[in-house]
Amino acid sequence: MKDSPLIVALDLELKEALALAKKLDPRDCKLKVGSQLFTSAGPELIKELSTLGFDIFLDLKFYDIPNTVEKAVKSAMSLKVWMINIHASGGSKMLKAAVKGCRGDKRRPFLIGVTLLTSLDKPSIRELGITSKLQDHVLLLSKLCKTNGLDGVVCSPNEISVLRKEMGQEFILVTPGIRSDSSNKHDQSRTSTISEALSRGANYIVIGRQITLSKDPPKEVDRIIKLVSGLD
C-alpha cells in the first residue's frame, strides 16, 4: 500500500491524544486534529505530533471574512501541516483568499473545502434554507472549490461517486462518517463502510471513535489497514 488512506481523528483530551499517537505508526495513518484538541492544546501539539512522524490534517474549518481566512491559513502553514480545510460555503472571495494564504511554500499543504457536515440530515438541511437536492448542493460547492483553486473537498460517503465522476481523478475526496458494518453511527447521519467509501472513489477516510474508543486502538488500526490492503 503506497499511501495509507486512513486518517485517525484525535477528538480526545491532550493526554489521551498523545498517548494514542505514540502507540500508532505514521506509516499506517495520518492524524486529524480538530477544534476540540487544538483549542485546548494549541500549536505546540501539532509540532509534537509532527516530531513523531505523522502527517497532520488540521481540521479547523476556517469560515470568516476573506482577509481573516487568508491570515489563518498562513498561520496554519507555519505549522507544516499536511492538510487544511475551510468551509466551501464562504464563497469565491474567501476561497481565493485561502488559496492566496497557501502560496509561498514549495511544500504547501492540501487545501480542501467542507461541503456539508455529515451530521446534517435532510430536515437539518431544510432548516438552513437549502431547497435543492443534497447531492446537487454538495456538487455545486465542490465545483466552486475547484474553480477557485482548492485541491478537493470533504464530503459524505453518499456523494463520493457523483463527485468522482464530475470532478475528475485528481480532485481529492476526504470522507468522514466511515464505520465498519457493526459499529455505531454516533452523531453522524450520512455514513458508509470502509470498503464502500474506497470503492466509490474516496482518497482518504476519516475514522475516529471506532478507533479511539476501542479496547485496543493499534489493533483496530491494523485491522483496518489489512482491510484496505485487501481492496487494492
Closest CA to 108 of 148, 165, 45, 150: 150
For 21-50, the pLDDT digits (tens) are 999 999 999 999 999 999 999 999 999 999
For 185-209, the pLDDT digits (tens) are 554 455 678 888 999 999 999 999 9
Domain boundaries, the chain: 6-229
Instruction: Say if pTM beats, i.e. exceeds, 0.75.
Output: yes
Confidence at residue 82, expressed as pLDDT on a 0 to 100 scale = 97
Q: Which stretch, 58-62, 176-180, 225-229, has highest mean pLDDT?
A: 58-62
Cβ(116)–Cβ(144) under 8 Å?
Answer: no
User: Is residue 65 packed enough to be buried (19+ CB in 10 Å), middle (13-18) or exposed (0-12)?
Assistant: exposed
For the chain, how big is the Rg over CA atoms in Å?
17
For 146-194, the pLDDT digits (tens) are 999 999 999 998 899 999 999 999 999 999 988 765 455 554 455 678 8
Residues in Cβ contact with 83 at an 8 Å cutoff, skipping those fewer than 6 apart: 30, 55, 56, 57, 58, 109, 110, 111, 112, 174
Catalytic site positions: 61
Given the candidates 3.20.20.70, 3.55.40.10, 3.40.50.150, 1.10.645.10, the CATH classification of the domain at 6-229 is 3.20.20.70
Enter the C-alpha cell of residue 54: 505523522
